Structure 1
Amino acid sequence: MAVLEEVAGRADVRPRMTSRQRMVLVLLLGAQFMLAVDFSILNVALPAVGDGLGFGLHALQWVASGFALPAAGLTLLSGRVADLFGRRRMFLAGMALLAAGSLIGGLAATPTMLLTGRVLQGVATAISTPAALSLLTTAFPEGALRDRALGLNGALMSAGFTAGAVLGGVLTDLLSWRWAFLVNVPIALLILTGTPRLVSGGRASEGARLDVPGALTVTGGLLALVYGVTAAGEKGWTAPVTLAAFAVAAALLVAFWFAEARAAAPLVPVRILRRRAVVWGNLAGLIAFLTETSLVFLMTLYLQEVLGYSPLVTGLAFGVLGAGTVVGGLFGARTIARLGTYRTLVGAFVLQAAATASLAALGDAHRWILLFLVATFVGGVGNMLAIVAFMVTATSGLPDGEQGLATGLATMTQQIGITIGIPIMSAIATARTSALGGPHAQAVLGGVRFAVLANAAIVLAGALLTALFLRRRTAR
C-alpha cells in the first residue's frame, strides 16, 4: 500500500476527501453561497421595495449600505472572536441571526423594520463568513485538499454575487421582493440543524483574552472607512461628511496599529501584519474583489442603459460570468499545484486585465453582446483564479489557532473591496458621462468605456505589485 501511495504521489494524483469532509464542505459552502447571494439579491428588487414600503430614491441606497457597513466593519473582530470563543459557536450564532434578520426584512411593514432586518443580515454575514472560512481551513490540512476546498469556496461565493442578481429578479417578478429575504430562513434553519452533527467546534487555548482597544479602534476605523466611501457615492468625494469620515477612519486605524504594538494579547499581532504573504496577499484580494464586482455594476449600466435590456435579462446575461468563476474555482487548486500561488496570481490578473480591457470596444448594437459574453467569461475565470490564489496566500503558514484571524482579514478584504469598488467606478463613469453631454445612451457608453479601462488598469497594477513584492515567496 505504501508503494502504491508513493507511485500515486509521483503521478500527481490528487488526495481524496473523506465522506465526512465532503459533507462538511457541502454544508459550509452552502452557507457561504447563501451569504454571497444576500449581498446582491436585493439590487434588482430595489425599485419594487421602494414602491412597496414608500422608500424615497435617496433612502434606497441604505438598503445596500445597511448591509455593507456591518458586513465590512465587523469581520476582523468576528474572526478573532471565533478564534477565542469557538468557531462553530460563532457560525451558529451568525446563522441564527441571519434567519432572524431575514424574517424581519421579509415581514417588514415599514422602512425602519426593513432596514433593521438588512442590518442584522450584515452583522450575521460579518459573524458567519470568517467563522465558516476558518472552519473550512481547519477541516482540511494545508496543501492540495485545502486549496481545492478554497477554490470551490471562492467559486461559489463569486457565483453567489451573480446568482443573487438573477434570483432577485426571478423572485421579484414571480412572487414578491419579500422572498428575497424569506428564502434565507429555511436554508439557515437547515444549516443550524446540520452543523452540530458534522462540524467540530475548534477554539483557542483557555485563558485567551480579547484585545478591547484593538477591537474598538479597528472596528470604528473600518466602519468610518466604509461609511466614507458610501457617502462619497451619494454626496461626492470632496463633501465635508466624506472627508470627515475618512479622517476619522485614518485616525482610528493609526491608533489601532499603535494599540496592537503595545497589547499583551493583540487582536492582530504586528508580526502578522508584517508578513509578506498576509499584506500583499490581502492587497491582491482587495483588487480582485474591487474590480470584478464594480465591473458587474458597469456592465449592468451598459446592458440596461445602452442596450435596453430588462433587469431579469441583465441578470441572466451575467450567468456566463458566473460560469467563468465556477470554472476558475474548479481549476484553481490544480493551477496552483502546477504553477504555485505567486505565478497563478500574476497570470490570473493579467488574464482578467486583458478580458476587462477588451470590453472598452463594446458598441451600442445588440451584436456586441457576443463580446460581452466571451470577455466576462474569460475575465471571470481569471478573477476566480486570483481569488483562490489570494485565499491560499493569505491563510498559509499560520497555525490553526490563528486561522480565524487570517480568514477574518481575508473576509474583511473581500467585503471592503465589494463595498468600495462600485462607488469608485460609478464616480469615474459618471464624470465621463457628464463630460460627454449627459445621461443619453452614447454618453453612458462613453462613461462605461472609460471606467472599464480604469478597471483594467487597476487589475494590471495588481499584477505588477504581486510580481514585485510576492516573487520571493516560495511557491508550494
Structure 2
Amino acid sequence: MFGLEISSVPAILPNVEKVLHAGFSSVQWIMNAYTIACTAVLMAAGTLADRYGRKRILLISVLAFGVTSLICGLAHDTTVLIASRFLQGLSGGVMVICQIAALSHQFQEGPRRSRAFAAWGIILGVGLGFGPIIGSAIVALLDWTWVFLIQVPLALLTTALIAGSVDESRDPEAKTLDLAGIVTMSLSVFSLTFYITQGPELGFASAAGLACIAVSAASFLAFVYVEKHRAHPMFDFSVFRIRPFSGALYGSMGMNFSFWPFMIYLPIYFQSALGYDVVSAGFALLAYTLPTLVVPPLAERLVLRYQPRIVIPAGLFTIGLGFLLMKLGSAMDHASWLSMLPGCVVAGAGLGMTNTPVTNTTTGSVPTSRAGMASGIDMSARLITLAINIALMGFLLLQGIFFHLERATQGALDASQLRHMAERIASGSVAETSLAGLAEGVAQSALVHGFGWVMLFGCIGAWVLAVASFVTFGPGATVQDTICCNATESA
C-alpha cells in the first residue's frame, strides 16, 4: 500500500493538473503535503507504537489510511486534495513506522531477520515497481480518482492479514508523547519547503521569504534545544554515536535526495519532452522502478558478505551513476526511452541495493525495545529529505527552463512573462506555449535543458552522500556486533 501510493500518484499528476486546473506549485504540494504529514507524525508514531502496542497502532493506521484514501478519491478541488493528502500522509507515516517496528521485533535473529527484510523489500518493490503502470492504466481506463480509491479494499484486506499474523509487542519503558518536538520539527520542515516552493513568486529576498527561512531556522534550533533538554526525548541524539546507524542514515537521505523526488517529475519528461501518452509513459517508468523489486534479495546477500558499510555507499554511488547516464541519454539528438533506459535501470538498481539494507541496519543497530524510535528517525530522515528535494528539484527545473528561454528569446519577453512560461512548460504544457508566441521546439528544448539541471543535481547529491556514508561507517564493528553490544548494555 505504501509503495503503491508513492509510485502511482506521480504517474497521474499531469492528468490531475489538467483536470483540476492546478498550477506547477500545486502539483508539488499534492506530493509535499503527504511527505510533510508523514514527517510530522513519524516520531509520534514510534512512541505510540512502543507504548500502546505496535500491532494495535498498525491496525488503526491501516484503517485510517483506507479512510483518508477514500477522501482523496472523492476530492474534486486542488485545495481539498492537498488537505486530504495531508491526512493520508499522517496515517501513512504511522503505518510504515509500525510495520518496520513490528517486523524488527518479530524477526530478531540474523539469518531470519535478513530473509524477513528481504521479503519486506520485495513487497515494497511490488508497489513501487508496478505503481507507475498501475497509475497510468487507471487514468487511461477509469479516471485519476481510482488511484486513491483502490487503497480502500487493500486496507480491508491488510487489516485482516495483520490481525491474524502479527505478534503484539511494546516497550515497557516507553514515555509520553513529545508534542514540543513534533511541532518544532514539523514547522521547520514546512517553512523551509514553503520557502523553496514559493520563493520565485514571493521573492527569496522579500520580507515574506526571509520570514519563512527565519521561522524554519528558529524552529529547528528550538527542536534541538527541546530534544537535548527533555528527560525522555522522542529524538535521541545519542544514537548518532552508533556509527552503523549514522552511516545508514546517510543512505536514507541519499535515496530521497535523488531517486524518489525525481519520480515526481519523470512522468512529465516522458510525456512532454518525449511526447509519450500516459500509458506509454507508465511503461517507460517501469525501467526506473522495477529494479527496486528485483535487487533487494541480492542486496541482503551482499550485506551478509560485505557488510552494510560497503553495500550502502555502493548503492548510493550506483544511483548517482544512473542519474549521470540519464542526463547523457536525455541530451542525445534523438532522445527516447531507449536512450534513457540504461540510466533508469542503473538508478533503480542502486535504490534496490540501498533501501532494505538501510532499514535493516538502522533498526538492527539499536536494542529491539527501541526499534520504534530508530525506524522513526530513519523515516524522518527519508521524508524530510524527500520533502525538501521535491521543492529543490522543482526549483531547479524552473530555473533551468527560465535561463534557456531567456537566451532563446533574447530579451523579447520580460522576466514575469518568462517565469509564467517556464511554469507552464515545467508542468507539461509544452504545446500550449506556442499560443503565446513561443515555438514548440524552443519550449521542448527548454524543458530538456531544465531536466538536465535536475539530473545533474541528483547525481552530485547521491555521490556526496555516498562518500559521507562510507566515511561515517568507518572500519568499525558490524551491525551484528552492535546489536550484541546494545543488548548487553540494555540488560
Aligned to 1:460: 463
Q: Matched residues in 1 for 2:470 and 2:11: separation?
A: 38
- 2:107–2:113 Cα contact (<8 Å) kept: yes
The 1:218–1:469 alpha-carbon spacing in structure 2 relative to 1, beyond 3 Å, is same
Partner Cα separation in structure 1 for residue 268 and residue 76 of structure 2: 31
- 8 Å Cα contact 1:103-1:117 kept in structure 2: no
Q: 1:433 maps to what in 2?
A: 401
Aligned partner of 1:64 among 31, 46, 57: 31
Distance in 1 between residues matched to 2:77 and 2:215, nearest whole Å = 32
What letter is aligned with 1:121?
A: Q
How many Å separate the matches in 2 of 1:226 and 1:72?
Answer: 12
Provide the rounded CA distance (Å) in 2 between the counterparts of 1:47 and 1:370.
Answer: 22
Q: Does 1:375 align with 2:343?
A: yes
Equivalences, count:
443
Structure 1 residue 348 and structure 2 residue 318: aligned? no
The answer to whether the 8 Å contact 1:155/1:384 transfers is no
The one of 172, 177, 190 aligned to 2:157: 190
Contact 2:28 2:391 in 1 (8 A): no
2 CA distance for matches of 1:352 and 1:62? 25
Mapped to 1, the partners of 2:178 and 2:204 lie a distance apart of 33
Question: Which ranges of structure 2 fall in alignment gaps of 5 or more residues?
Answer: 407-424, 426-442, 480-491
Alpha-carbon distance change, 223 to 87 in structure 1, aligned in 2, over 3 angstroms: farther
Deviation larger for 296-305 or 454-463: 296-305
- Separation in 2, partners of 1:204, 1:241: 44
User: Where does residue 381 of structure 2 map in the other structure?
Assistant: 413
**Which of 41, 48, 52 is 1:81 aligned to?**
48
Does residue 143 in structure 1 map to residue 146 in structure 2? no
DSSP-derived class of the 2:10 partner: coil
How big is each residue's C-alpha offset from its partner over 1:248-302, in whole Å with a ceiling of 9 and x where there is no partner? 2322222222222222222122312433333332122111122012333454343
What is the alpha-carbon distance in structure 2 between the residues aligned to residue 214 and residue 97 of structure 1?
Answer: 24
Distance change >3 Å, CA 239–CA 81, structure 1 → 2: farther
Tell me the distance in 2 between the aligned counterparts of 1:471 and 1:387. 20
- Give, in whole Å, the separation in 2 of the partners of 1:45 and 1:120: 19
Q: Which residue of 1 aligns with 2:428?
A: none
Residue in 1 aligned with 2:269? 302
Q: Give the equivalent residue in structure 2 for 1:180.
A: 147
**In the alignment, what sits opposite 1:331?**
298
1:403 aligned partner, one-letter code: A
**Cα deviations by residue, 1:125-163 (Å, 9 ceiling, x for unpaired):** 121110111111111115233233334434543553453
Task: Name the structure 2 match of 1:128.
Answer: 95
Please state if 1:208 is matched with 2:175.
yes
Conservation of the 8 A alpha-carbon contact between 1:307 and 1:365: no
Letter in 2 for 1:78: A
Distance 2:203 2:461 in 1: 21
Amino acid at match of 2:108: P
Instruction: Show the counterpart of 2:445.
Output: 442
- Which residue in the other structure is 1:472 paired with? 475
CA distance, structure 2, for counterparts of residue 123 and residue 43 of structure 1? 19
Q: Give me the whole-angstrom Cα distance separating, in 1, the residues matched to 2:213 and 2:125.
A: 28
Q: 1:341·1:392 contact (CA, 8 Å) conserved in 2?
A: no
Moved more, 220-229 or 354-363: 220-229
**Aligned AA (1:108):** A
In structure 1, distance between residues paired with 2:118 and 2:208: 40
Shifted more, 152-161 versus 116-125: the winner is 152-161
Deviations 1:65-120 (A, max 9, x none): 33222122221221222112211121111111111112222233555554443222
Residue range with higher mean Cα deviation, 176-185 or 350-359: 350-359
Task: Pick closer, same or farther for the CA change 1:247–1:474 going to 2, 3 Å.
Answer: same
Secondary structure, aligned partner of 1:202: coil
- Residue 290 to residue 402, structure 1, CA distance change in 2 (3 Å): same
Say if 2:197 and 2:392, in contact at 8 Å, map to a contact too.
no
**Percent identity of equivalent pairs:** 24
TM superposition shift of 1:358 = 1.8
Deviation for aligned residue 1:433: 2.6
Q: 1:233, CA displacement in angstroms?
A: 7.7
1:265 paired with 2:232, answer yes
Which amino acid in the other structure matches residue 3 of structure 2? A
Partners of 2:28 and 2:214 lie apart in 1 by 23
Q: Which residue of 2 aligns with 1:167?
A: 134
C-alpha RMSD over aligned residues: 2.7
CA distance in 2: counterparts of 1:261 and 1:39, whole angstroms? 33
- Asked if 2 retains the 8 angstrom alpha-carbon contact of 1:301 and 1:448, the reply is no
**2: distance between equivalents of 1:194 and 1:307?**
42
- Out of 365, 389, 401, the residue aligned to residue 369 of structure 2 is 401
Contact 1:293–1:421 (Cα < 8 Å) also in 2? no
Q: Is the 8 A contact 1:86 1:203 kept in 2?
A: yes
Which whole-Å CA distance do the structure 2 matches of 1:380 and 1:257 have between them?
35
Code of the aligned partner of 1:315:
G
Match of 1:392 among 360, 365, 369: 360
Equivalent residue runs for 1:23-34 within 5 Å: 34=1
Preserved contact between residue 220 and residue 252 of structure 1 (Cα < 8 Å): yes
Task: Give the C-alpha shift of residue 234 in structure 1.
Answer: 6.8
Aligned position for 1:119: 86
Aligned to 2:246: 279
Contact 1:227 1:245 in 2 (8 A): yes
